[in-house]
């Protein structure tokens, strides 16, 4: 897989280099041709185009260098790669375009108001502009295809630049046509129409200024790591749609050449297994990659308490403040109302009214701390107040132990009971047993089965004072 990715990257770099080199050669030919014809004809529009093409040549060379450097892999000094070199080259191109615009505007104003220049709308002048339009159309399409295929900002900047050259050349062509028409059909207005060439040059300048502003803004946005409009919201929405994500946290975006780097935090239930948490993160990563192709995505998972778990913990905290243990806490939600059932363990030496007062105090504290509670049902259970003696009488009570085993196996539906232990505490009997259950059985189902075994033993053997059913996973066969 790594070798395939390396080969793909090498092919992409070679194609980008061919497109950039073709742009350099085209700019070199056009600059020389426009300069020669502009000097021969005296057309400011064509000279402006020559200056523009000269800057295109410089920009194309910078783009060629940028494409060569940006294709290098990340190293110890450039952990995000060298992609921003393309953005830097686009910024240089923008500065050069602004310089060209300033010169064109300055010279055009001089020719319109202060200086008269003779323009010769010769066949060569028309030819060079038409050739320029044809060349610019073709190289703009070539660069645009390569830029879209490889998401290259440098090539995209060149493509956008040369597409505007087509329009600016068309403006110059229109100026030359007006000059020719003035001399051929309206000699009286020939001097006025001669200035149409300078006006055309101003048109070129304004077109280039507009494109330069757009290009410069996009380039600076990338260099300053500005997130594309709306992309963060789309990423958050995509992550939130993945099952298991409680909410999407901080998102960081940065563009480096053709690659978008995305760092994101998601909140997941802290009780999930590690494998499940990892699977959720991978699902989010796949969803983001489909939204932003070619992106480098890092997902950080933050464990979070669920609302239900938080409520159970607060109930336990209230019980702990009252120094009484609780278990079997069940929280029900019904049309916005919260109902709580719980078992409260009290010392078996307490009187009933004392145990009831203790339960009432716990209920009042729960209602005070959790106003959303509508009803609290508390089951009072006794617990031994100390450590007593217990003699092992399993051998003496063999028939009882065997009956315990049969009852447990009957509830489970198969032989599962083992290690039955019977103890005598004074005149009371206590039994503990181990039940081997399916290792893939959910905990809640194992608990229910153990509870059913305990209830059956209490019902069938009322002499048993205390019963403990311990569930163990069976070894795989």
Domain ranges, ordered by start, for the chain: 2-223, 231-304, 308-383, 391-473
**pLDDT tens per residue across span 56-83:** 777 777 777 766 666 666 666 666 666 6
Domains 231-304 and 391-473 fall in the same CATH topology: yes
HEC string for the chain: CHHHHHHHHHHHHHHHHHHHHHHHHHHHHHHHHHHHHHHHHCCHHHHHHHHHHHHHHHHHHHHHHHHHHHCCCCCCCCCCCCCHHHHHHHHHHHHHHHHHHHHHHHHHHHHHHHCCCCCCCCHHHHHHHHHHHHHHHHHHHHHHHHHHHHCCHHHHHHHHHHHHHHHHHHHHHHHHHHHHHHHHHCHHHHHHHHCHHHHHHHHHHHHHHHHHHHHHHHHHHHHCCCCCCCHHHHHHHHHHCCCCEEEEEEEEEEEECCEEEEEEEEEEECCCCHHHHHHHHHHHHHHHHHHCCCCEEEEEEEEECCHHHHHHHHHHHHHHHCCCCEEEEEEEEECCEEEEEEEEEEECCCCHHHHHHHHHHHHHHHHHHCCCEEEEEEEEEEECCCCCCCEECCCCCHHHHHHHHHHHHHHHCCCCEEEEEEEEECCEEEEEEEEEECCCCCHHHHHHHHHHHHHHHHHHCCCEEEEEEEEEECCCC
Whole-number pLDDT of residue 403: 92
Whole-number pLDDT of residue 317: 80
Single pTM value for the model: 0.46
Topology of domain 2-223, CATH = Alpha-lytic protease prodomain-like (1.20.1510)
Mean of all residue pLDDT scores within the chain: 75
Whole-number pLDDT of residue 151: 62
CATH no., domain 308-383: 3.30.70.1350
Residue 162 confidence (pLDDT) above 60: yes
Residue 278 confidence (pLDDT) above 70: yes
Whole-number pLDDT of residue 386: 47
Architecture per CATH, domain 231-304, reads as 2-Layer Sandwich (3.30)
CATH no., domain 391-473: 3.30.70.1350
Of the spans 26-30, 77-81, 196-200, 350-354, which averages the highest pLDDT? 350-354
21 vs 467, residue with greater confidence: 467
């Amino acid at each position: 897989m790594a070798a395939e990715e390396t080969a793909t990257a090498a092919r992409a770099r070679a194609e980008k280099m061919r497109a950039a080199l073709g742009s350099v050669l085209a700019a070199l030919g056009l600059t020389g041709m426009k300069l020669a014809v502009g000097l021969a004809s005296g057309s400011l529009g064509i000279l402006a185009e020559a200056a523009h093409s000269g800057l295109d040549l410089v920009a194309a060379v910078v783009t060629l260098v940028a494409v060569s450097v940006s294709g290098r892999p990340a190293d110890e000094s450039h952990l995000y790669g060298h992609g921003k070199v393309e953005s830097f080259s686009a910024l240089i191109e923008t500065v050069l375009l602004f310089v060209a615009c300033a010169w064109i505007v300055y010279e055009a104003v001089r020719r319109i108001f202060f200086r008269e220049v003779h323009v010769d709308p010769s066949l060569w002048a028309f030819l060079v502009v038409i050739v320029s339009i044809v060349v610019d159309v073709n190289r703009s399409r070539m660069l645009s295809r390569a830029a879209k295929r490889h998401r290259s900002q440098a090539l995209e900047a060149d493509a956008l630049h040369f597409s505007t050259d087509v329009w600016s050349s068309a403006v110059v062509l229109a100026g030359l046509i007006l000059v020719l028409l003035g001399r051929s059909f309206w000699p009286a207005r020939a001097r006025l129409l001669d200035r149409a060439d300078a006006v055309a040059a101003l048109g070129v300048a304004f077109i280039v200024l507009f494109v330069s502003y757009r290009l410069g803004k996009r380039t600076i946005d990338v260099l300053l790591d500005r997130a594309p409009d709306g992309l963060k919201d789309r990423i958050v929405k995509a992550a939130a749609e993945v099952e298991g994500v409680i909410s999407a946290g901080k998102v960081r975006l940065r563009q480096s050449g053709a690659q978008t780097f995305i760092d994101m935090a998601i909140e997941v239930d802290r009780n999930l297994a590690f494998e499940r948490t990892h699977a959720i993160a991978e699902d989010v990563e796949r969803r983001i990659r489909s939204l932003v192709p070619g992106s480098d995505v890092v997902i950080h998972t933050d464990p979070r308490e669920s609302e239900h778990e938080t409520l159970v913990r607060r109930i336990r905290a209230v019980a702990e403040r009252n120094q009484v243990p609780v278990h079997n806490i069940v929280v029900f939600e019904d049309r916005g109302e919260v109902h709580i059932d719980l078992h409260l363990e009290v010392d078996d030496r307490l009187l009933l009214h004392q145990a009831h007062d203790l339960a009432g105090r716990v209920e009042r504290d729960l209602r005070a701390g959790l106003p959303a509670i509508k009803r609290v049902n508390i089951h009072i259970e006794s617990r031994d107040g100390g450590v007593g003696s217990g003699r092992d009488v399993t051998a003496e009570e063999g028939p009882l132990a065997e009956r315990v085993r049969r009852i447990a196996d009957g509830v489970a539906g198969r032989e599962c009971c083992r290690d039955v232990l019977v103890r005598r505490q004074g005149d009371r009997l206590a039994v503990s047993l181990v039940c081997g259950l399916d290792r893939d059985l959910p905990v809640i189902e194992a608990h229910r089965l153990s509870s059913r075994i305990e209830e059956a033993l209490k019902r069938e053997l009322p002499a048993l004072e205390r019963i403990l059913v311990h569930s163990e996973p069976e070894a795989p066969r």
